[in-house]
Amino acid sequence: MEEHVQEALDIVKAQASVRNMTEEEITSMVQGLSKQLKKITEGGAESQERTEQPQEPAVDPKKAIREKSVVCLECGKTFKVLTKRHLALHGLTPEEYKEKWGMKKNTALIAKGLARQRKQKMNEMQLWKRRKANNS
């Protein structure tokens, strides 16, 4: 086994010991980390050649938004919400990210379950009724 793959496995093993991860998350994280580690160790002209090739997503873009998490297609990390701040680390705005990976412009970069919870909470609060009452 190559050294960078072993290092990636060690990192993912440590990450999996602190939080629950699906088999797919573990696999994509190992793949992403090993590629990054290989790129760092090899460096030089070879890494420049690779950046000219189209980037492969960490997981299938259609499966990136899950019930309890969102997978960043750039690095393979999982989040509950994919923030502007994280995407800025990859040099992308949310609009550019969605366009790059073929997502609809109105796609929310948030876990499905969390989006549902927020929507339910807003419906319970019914702020639009309070606003009308205050304006009258």
73 and 32 inside one domain:
no
Cα dihedral across residues 41, 42, 43, 49: positive or negative: negative
Q: What tens-digit pLDDT sequence spans the chain (136 residues)?
A: 678 788 888 888 888 888 787 887 888 888 888 888 788 777 644 444 444 557 788 888 888 999 999 999 998 899 999 999 999 998 999 999 999 999 999 999 999 999 999 999 999 988 888 778 888 6
18 and 74 inside one domain:
no
Cα 76 from Cα 64, distance rounded (Å) = 9
66 and 118 inside one domain:
yes
14 and 33 inside one domain:
yes
* 111: nearest Cα among 77, 69, 71, 79: 69
The pLDDT value recorded for residue 109 is 95
The pLDDT value recorded for residue 111 is 95
In the chain, alpha helices (H) = 3-18, 23-42, 44-52, 84-89, 94-100, 112-125, 127-135
The pLDDT value recorded for residue 70 is 94
Number of domains in the chain: 2
> What is the span of the domain harbouring residue 66?
58-136
23 and 76 inside one domain:
no
5 and 48 inside one domain:
yes
